[in-house]
């Protein structure tokens, strides 16, 4: 398979021996538009070697290279040497590779089986799995899939918020006002009600707070009643969350949440003591982080109970020992940036050089159209409702437009849920956004259903053609601009996946598959596929199949299903 970048390196090195192939590869750029070439080499850095102006160097290089079969044109513009690939060879190279690898096209083995942990979702037990959690869940799941695709050995962890003082509050509230049957019939909203009631009552009776603290200490001390209640609350909550995970096709390798680390604290405290980083502050224990520009981290309260941040330190130690990770990724909102900086610094101060392999991948906040969501006030949008509404709406559209579709229910789920996930992954993760039902349920434009539809369309063309598509075609028949544009985007897909992995940014893939779908639809519009000329038909069909396969791979990397028909 021809690597055109490598070729440029070889050609230049053969003709201009002062420049090594590696140097060329370092220098090569992708010009901002194709009429400036497919690759460009800037010559500014060579001025010293050749004692000439960069423009003259570029001109000399072009003259020295002369004609070359891999490039239809090599020209200099200012200080740049621009390379235009031989389109026929280019299409042949790209389409042969897609044909051979099918849904593995783009699965470059950069991971080499190294272990990567992706922690995502991590909702809090007894609290709603609300629209804010969709971000961690969906972004994290996609990052997990991208790493997996690129040959890493990936471990998906759900660091459940199943521990902490709020359980003391819940137990107090349950004992005072709760009813087991009522809760079991509708767990999260009922538990939420109890939680809200606690906060209302505590305004009048502050002693409730002391009681809650007591119950949490009991839980830490393995008191049987506290433990039983906690376990029950955790079980009913998880059952709820699992429904959503099932809808989204998500499976975790580990559900080790905060409670899992409750007995692993003494060791953390010991190591911190050994390293002399722990200080006493009115009976509580803190780590002073002032010299790193951060406020002190409270790791143990006066009553001996530990905190969220301490559990994160313990979890990181445990993960290193259990999984010997190459990278330990946390997909958690940007409100927690300081939290992650603090505990990662503490791990470093504890003497663990792998602290640098822990990565916080933050994302922006979601607000509701008017006002903000807050568990205490109870104004929340449940993720499950969002998904269900999207499926309902899709079902209606299918009934109107395509009532005879097979597997209607299945397809409605794939499209409705896919639309939500796709939209979530369309924008850079760090951007804040406002949730609105209307926007969420608008399926027009550059949306998931659009890409899914393009995939299904390609699929139905192939079905209709009813011939074996092969890569043994006349590639000179794919030289028109519409076809070449599609091929270029298919070619770029490989690098796009790697970029998305390195930047922890699924949106890079989402946007690229929208580009592919648009380019394909232009091609399809201008170039009828099932024509009489057998050679033209064969050539175009290969492009259709390649597009279908890459779209499917792209969708699967952002965890959106690709229905065959819709």
Q: Say how many C-beta atoms besides its own lie within 10 A of residue 365's C-beta.
A: 15
Q: Which is nearer to ligand ARG, 230 or 330 (CB)?
A: 330
To ligand ARG, the closest distance from the beta carbon of 409 in angstroms equals: 32
Q: Which is nearer to ligand ARG, 87 or 130 (CB)?
A: 130
Q: Which is nearer to ligand ARG, 77 or 339 (CB)?
A: 339
To ligand ARG, the closest distance from the beta carbon of 485 in angstroms equals: 42
Catalytic residue among 87, 130, 360, 545: 130
To ligand ARG, the closest distance from the beta carbon of 312 in angstroms equals: 5
Q: Say how many C-beta atoms besides its own lie within 10 A of residue 295's C-beta.
A: 11
Assess whether 130 carries a catalytic annotation: yes
Q: What distance in Å separates the CA atoms of residue 10 and residue 27, rounded to the nearest whole number?
A: 13
Q: Which residue in 525, 548, 386 sits closest to 451, CA to CA? A: 548
- Cβ distance 156 to 253 under 8 Å? yes
Q: Which residue in 494, 478, 493, 497 sits closest to 543, CA to CA? A: 478
To ligand ARG, the closest distance from the beta carbon of 307 in angstroms equals: 11
Return the beta strands (E) in 80-199 as ranges. 80-85, 115-119, 153-157
- Cβ distance 60 to 19 under 8 Å? no
To ligand ARG, the closest distance from the beta carbon of 437 in angstroms equals: 23
To ligand ARG, the closest distance from the beta carbon of 206 in angstroms equals: 26
Q: Which is nearer to ligand ARG, 121 or 546 (CB)?
A: 121
Assess whether 133 carries a catalytic annotation: yes
To ligand ARG, the closest distance from the beta carbon of 264 in angstroms equals: 14
Q: Which is nearer to ligand ARG, 77 or 199 (CB)?
A: 199
Three-state secondary structure readout of 446-513: CCHHHHHHHHHHHHHHHHHHCCCCCCCCCHHHHCCHHHHHHHHHHHHHHHHHHHHHHHCCCHHHHHHH
136: which residues sit within 8 A by CB, 6+ positions away?
120, 121, 122, 331, 332, 333, 363
Q: What distance in Å separates the CA atoms of residue 530 and residue 16, rounded to the nearest whole number?
A: 48
- Cβ distance 354 to 313 under 8 Å? no
475: which residues sit within 8 A by CB, 6+ positions away?
88, 89, 91, 92, 95, 539
Assess whether 145 carries a catalytic annotation: no
Tokens 């995939």 belong to: 455
To ligand ARG, the closest distance from the beta carbon of 123 in angstroms equals: 6
Q: Which is nearer to ligand ARG, 119 or 190 (CB)?
A: 119
369 DSSP 8-state letter: S
Which residue has the closest beta carbon to ligand ARG? Answer: 161
Q: Element (H or E) spanning 214, and its range?
A: helix 207-220
> How large is the greatest C-alpha to C-alpha distance in the chain, in angstroms?
88
Q: Which is nearer to ligand ARG, 342 or 452 (CB)?
A: 342
Catalytic residue among 7, 87, 96, 127: 127
Q: What distance in Å separates the CA atoms of residue 76 and residue 66, rounded to the nearest whole number?
A: 12
Instruction: Report the interface residues with ligand ARG, using CB under 6 A.
Output: 119, 122-124, 159, 161, 312, 330, 332
- Cβ distance 546 to 471 under 8 Å? no
Q: Which is nearer to ligand ARG, 330 or 443 (CB)?
A: 330
- Cβ distance 509 to 557 under 8 Å? yes
Catalytic residue among 96, 133, 538, 552: 133
Q: What distance in Å separates the CA atoms of residue 14 and residue 222, rounded to the nearest whole number?
A: 74
Angle among Cα 430, 436, 442 to the nearest 5 degrees reads 100
To ligand ARG, the closest distance from the beta carbon of 119 in angstroms equals: 6
Rounded-to-5 percentages of helix, strand, coil across the chain: 60, 10, 30
Tokens 């939420």 belong to: 192
To ligand ARG, the closest distance from the beta carbon of 430 in angstroms equals: 17
Q: How far is CA 507 from CA 25, 152, 503, 559, in A?
A: 27, 20, 10, 12
Looking only at the bridges linking them, the beta strands covering 80-85 and 71-77 are antiparallel
Q: Which is nearer to ligand ARG, 315 or 514 (CB)?
A: 315
Q: What distance in Å separates the CA atoms of residue 187 and residue 235, rounded to the nearest whole number?
A: 10
Angle among Cα 366, 329, 499 to the nearest 5 degrees reads 85
Q: Which is nearer to ligand ARG, 334 or 388 (CB)?
A: 334
Catalytic amino acids? 127, 130, 133
């Amino acid at each position: 398979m021809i690597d055109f970048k490598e070729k440029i390196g070889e050609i230049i090195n053969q003709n201009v021996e002062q420049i090594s192939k590696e140097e060329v590869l370092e220098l090569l750029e992708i010009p901002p538009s194709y009429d400036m070439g497919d690759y460009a080499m800037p010559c500014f850095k060579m001025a010293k070697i050749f004692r000439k102006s960069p423009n003259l160097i570029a001109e000399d290089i072009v003259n020295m290279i002369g004609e070359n079969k891999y490039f239809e044109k090599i020209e200099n513009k200012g200080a740049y040497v621009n390379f235009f690939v031989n389109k026929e060879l280019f299409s042949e190279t790209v389409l042969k590779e897609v044909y051979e690898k099918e849904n593995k096209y783009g699965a470059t083995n950069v991971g080499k089986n190294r272990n990567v942990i992706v922690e995502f979702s991590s909702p809090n037990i007894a609290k709603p799995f609300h629209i804010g959690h969709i971000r961690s869940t969906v972004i994290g799941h996609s990052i997990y899939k991208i790493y997996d695709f690129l040959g890493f050995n990936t471990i998906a962890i759900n660091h459940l918020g199943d521990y902490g003082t709020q359980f003391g509050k819940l137990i107090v509230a349950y004992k005072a006002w709760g009813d087991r049957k009522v809760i079991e019939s509708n767990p999260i909203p009922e538990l939420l009600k109890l939680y809200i009631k606690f906060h209302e009552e505590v305004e009048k009776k502050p002693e409730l707070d002391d009681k809650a603290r007591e119950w949490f200490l009991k839980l830490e001390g393995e008191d049987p009643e506290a433990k039983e209640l906690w376990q029950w609350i955790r079980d009913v909550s998880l059952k709820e969350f699992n429904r959503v995970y099932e809808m989204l096709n998500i499976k975790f390798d580990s559900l080790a949440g905060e409670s899992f680390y409750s007995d692993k604290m003494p060791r953390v405290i010991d190591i911190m003591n050994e390293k002399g980083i722990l200080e006493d502050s009115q009976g509580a224990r803190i780590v002073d982080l002032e010299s790193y520009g951060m406020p002190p981290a409270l790791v143990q309260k006066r009553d001996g109970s530990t905190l969220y941040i301490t559990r994160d330190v313990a979890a990181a130690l445990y993960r290193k020992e259990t999984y010997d990770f190459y990278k330990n990724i946390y997909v958690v909102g940007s409100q927690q940036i300081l939290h992650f900086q603090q505990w990662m610094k503490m791990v470093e101060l504890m003497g663990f050089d792998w602290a640098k392999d822990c990565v916080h991948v933050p994302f922006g906040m979601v607000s509701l159209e008017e006002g903000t969501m807050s568990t205490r006030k109870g104004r929340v949008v449940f993720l499950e409702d969002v998904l269900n509404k999207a499926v309902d709406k899709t079902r209606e559209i299918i009934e109107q437009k395509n009532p005879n579709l097979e597997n209607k229910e299945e397809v409605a789920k794939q499209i409705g849920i896919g639309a939500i996930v796709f939209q979530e992954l369309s924008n850079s993760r760090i951007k804040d956004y406002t949730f609105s039902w209307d926007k969420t349920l608008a399926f027009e434009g550059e949306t998931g259903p659009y890409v899914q539809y393009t995939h299904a369309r390609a699929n139905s063309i192939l079905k209709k053609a009813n011939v074996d598509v092969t890569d043994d075609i006349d590639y000179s028949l794919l030289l028109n601009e519409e076809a070449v544009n599609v091929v270029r985007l298919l070619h770029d897909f490989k690098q796009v996946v790697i970029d998305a992995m390195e930047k922890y940014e699924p949106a890079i893939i989402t946007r690229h598959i929208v580009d592919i779908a648009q380019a394909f639809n232009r091609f399809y519009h201008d170039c009828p596929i099932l024509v009489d000329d057998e050679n033209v038909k064969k050539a175009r069909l290969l492009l259709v199949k390649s597009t279908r396969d890459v779209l499917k791979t792209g969708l699967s990397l952002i965890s959106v299903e690709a229905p065959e028909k819709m």
